[in-house]
Structures are given as C-alpha cells and as structure tokens.
C-alpha cells in the first residue's frame, strides 16, 4: 500500500475568484476555494497542458479552512465598439461570421465577482509520491499560478509543506492561523474558531466542483463530491487579552465592534 501524506497550501491574495455555475455576462465566485480551482493550480504548477489527463489528481481529498473570509467585490464593466457599431451576438451565419445583435445593442454589460482580502488554508490528502511531486512543483511552478482566475495572482509563499499521513481535520487543526496581522489583531481571545469544509465520503453535503478535464475544446463536466461543514478551534497566538482596547471600561461598550475593528 502506498504511503499517504497531506500537502498544505496557503491561498491568499488581493483578489480570488473560485468559479461557480454562472451564465452569460455574470460570473460569480464561491465563498471558498473549489476543488476544480485548487487542482487547476496544481496542474499549472506541474506544467500540464489543458488537454492533459488529470485522473491522478481527482483522487486527492480536499479540506479548506477559512482563516480570513474577506469580502465580496463586484466588478462592473460596460463594453462598446469605439466605431459606434452594434455589438456582435453569440450567433454566426452560414459562413461562420459572427452576427450583429438584432435589435442592435451598442453596449454590453458584464459583472464579475471576486473575494477580496481573503486567506484560506487548503489541505490535500493522497499518495505521498504524488504529493511530493506536487509540492516541488508549487515551489517551482512551470506556469504562473492563480487563485481561480488568471487575474488573481497569489501573495506570498503557497506551499506550507508536507505532513505525515493524518486526517484532513487533524492537519487543519494543527496548522497555525494564517490570517493577516491586521485581521489577527482584531481578536483579543487566546483561541479562534474557523469554518472548514472537509471532503468526506460520509459527508452530509454535496458540491458539484470536481472537473473531468480542463480542455477548452471539449468543455468541462463537473461531478459531485460529498463534504462535511465543520468548525475548527485553534490558538490565536495571544497568550492574554490585548492590553489596548477601544472598550469603555465603565460601560463595556466597544464603539468600533460593528466595524470589525
């Protein structure tokens, strides 16, 4: 039997966008990294072409811990032809030439959604030889890496190393809190509870985010995996409550609490 291991990744950046079923000119994002997005990052790190098989990656189990949820950003675009011509439609004529919109439409509107200022800890469990190769590839990527979309580069080191065979929950419980300093400083307690989603054959929830290929010509069909939504409590690094506080000691009221300060 092949020895197993767990690869831990820190997924952080100014913007992230983890695709979910979207249509036409509105592209949404999931609230946390998807299996399709994480496996795509690993495939890019290894330099796999889009049409390359990914069967060996599909067997990896994924766990994601939300260290810093960030906030949603809507990117609103309008597009038009500088010559004043109507926008092209999605249809083509018999000669394969794209038709113009009818009735004529001169402005196209697109909306794309991103997560901003978010940090996640992702753990992948599988055969140790495969994860060792992937860990090396993440440290020495063949293609530029992205957090869901090419326009979302990661910030800082991604790989946090390999861990001996263990459950995803145990590994995610042992990895230190990865939130940014400004976010950690908002918490005065010695421990923090973080949301986590862990792939589990006996899980009670289903997610359609496992791809069969990244080949643009054939398109991608997503299959379902089962997960468990849970919470993980870990140390914050604060041995005692912060000495400085905005709280009025007489009333116990913190005027900045609603702002998250």
Q: How confident is the prediction along the chain (261 residues), in pLDDT tens digits per residue?
A: 569 999 999 999 999 999 866 666 788 899 999 999 999 999 999 999 999 999 999 999 999 999 999 999 999 888 888 888 888 887 888 888 888 888 888 888 888 999 999 999 999 999 999 999 999 999 999 999 999 999 999 999 999 999 998 999 999 999 999 999 999 998 889 999 999 999 999 999 999 999 999 998 888 899 999 999 999 999 998 875 544 444 444 445 556 555 555
Residue corresponding to tokens 């919470």: 231
The structural domains of the chain, ordered by start, are: 4-73+114-259 (3.30.70.2660)
Exposed, middle or buried: residue 87 (CB in 10 Å: 0-12, 13-18, 19+)? middle
Q: What is the pLDDT of residue 217?
A: 87
- Nearest 5 degrees, angle CA 75-CA 77-CA 79? 165
Strand partners, 125: 6, 61
Q: What is the pLDDT of residue 260?
A: 52
Q: What is the pLDDT of residue 247?
A: 47
Q: Measuring CA to CA, which residue among 225, 233, 230 is closest to residue 61? A: 225
What is each CA distance from 94 to 45, 91, 97, 98, 121, in whole angstroms? 41, 10, 7, 10, 50
CA distance 13 to 65: 15
Look up the pTM and report it. Answer: 0.82
């Amino acid at each position: 039997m092949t020895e197993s291991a767990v690869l831990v990744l820190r997924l952080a950046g100014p913007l992230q966008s983890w695709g979910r079923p979207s249509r036409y000119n509105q592209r949404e994002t999931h609230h946390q990294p998807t299996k399709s997005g994480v496996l795509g990052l690993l495939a890019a790190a290894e330099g796999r072409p889009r049409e390359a098989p990914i069967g060996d990656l599909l067997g990896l189990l994924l766990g994601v811990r939300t260290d810093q949820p960030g906030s949603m950003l809507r990117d609103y675009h309008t597009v038009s032809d500088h010559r004043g011509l109507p926008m092209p439609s999605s249809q083509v004529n018999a000669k394969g030439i794209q038709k113009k919109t009818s009735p004529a439409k001169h402005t196209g509107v697109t909306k794309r959604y991103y997560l901003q200022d978010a940090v996640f800890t992702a753990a992948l469990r599988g055969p140790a030889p495969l994860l060792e190769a992937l860990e090396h590839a993440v440290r020495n990527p063949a293609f530029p890496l992205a957090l869901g979309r090419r326009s979302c580069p990661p910030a800082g080191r991604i790989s946090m190393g390999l861990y001996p065979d263990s459950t995803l929950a145990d590994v995610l419980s042992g990895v230190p809190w990865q939130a940014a300093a400004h976010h950690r400083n908002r918490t005065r307690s010695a421990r923090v509870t973080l949301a986590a989603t862990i792939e589990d054959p006996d899980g009670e929830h289903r997610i359609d985010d496992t791809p069969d290929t990244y080949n643009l010509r054939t398109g991608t069909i997503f299959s379902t995996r089962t997960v468990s939504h849970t919470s993980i409590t870990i140390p914050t690094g604060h041995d005692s409550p912060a000495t400085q506080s905005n709280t009025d000691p007489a009333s116990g009221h913190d005027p900045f609490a609603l702002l998250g300060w």
